[in-house]
Copies of this chain bind each other. A is one copy, B any other.
């Protein structure tokens, strides 16, 4: 079997005319070229060059082979470039499932920046509950899950990917907007949109309330922070919203304030142990982590 290297040497010698210049071009010594040519001729069984007056002139057969070899070199380069693109994560298919608050907040923002350097990427974005994230990951339909509350599943690996916190949002001009920091106790005295006690978010908030001997009171119960944020924007009341939902959003119409006490909240990247995690997914995960390490959104940020 004739090797790619042999074809490369053959082509180069034909191209540049002498073994010495071919050797220079291929960054090896001249005898290496001489030997390889002779070896190749022995292998294929007919001469590739005509030796005359101590010069080499390629035979028609050699030219024919070199011609055909060009296509092989093309293909070689193609494979090489695909390997490079796969390494750099600039190629491939990335399938993400995220909770709605992430999917509506930070995800499009980060994705658009991630895609800037990777125009060839194929994307698939799904939004869903923790259960949906679990299902898609264990069935291999998604590469990466993003969620605030980490799922518990033996076949899934969870990585903390960034720190955030709950923030209070109120409609512009709302009385709470006058304060720099809003105590959670204050929430009970205003029209307040919050999350069901059955939801992970609701439970986490409840825990803080009860630690302070408070009972959480709200006039409207929603499931997703995105919904709450939209209601606030329409002036229906105030709400606690995770900082991730605020990143990449224009805040016109709403005022964002820190809470007291702080309600820390981390974003988790989830991958399946049942399928190999694509290099691309890992790249996106660390890209996301890099963005989030800049710290959670600040009151007033428009990002």
The interface-forming segment of A49-57, A163-171, A203-211, A254-262 is A49-57
Given contacts A92-B61, A93-B60, whether A276 and B80 have CB atoms under 8 Å apart is: no
| Size class of the contact patch on chain A | 35 or more
Q: How far apart are A96's CB and chain B's nearest CB, in angstroms?
A: 14
Instruction: Judge whether A72 is part of the interface by a CB distance below 8 angstroms.
Output: yes
In whole Å, how far is A259's beta carbon from the nearest beta carbon of chain B?
42
Is A252 interfacial (CB-CB < 8 Å)?
no
Looking at A52, A57, A64, which has the most chain B CB atoms within 10 Å of its CB? A64
Q: Is the CB of A68 within 8 A of B72?
A: no
Q: Is A111 an interface residue (CB 8 A)?
A: no
- Tell me which residues across on chain B come within 8 A of A82, comparing CB atoms: 64-65, 68
State whether A76 and B72 are in contact (beta carbons under 8 Å apart), knowing that A58-B276, A92-B64, A279-B59 are contacts in the complex.
yes
- Contact indicator B2/A44 (Cβ below 8 Å): no
Residues of A within 8 A of B (CB): 1-4, 7, 44-47, 49-50, 52, 57-61, 64-65, 68-69, 71-72, 75-76, 78-80, 82-83, 86-87, 91-93, 273, 275-276, 278-280
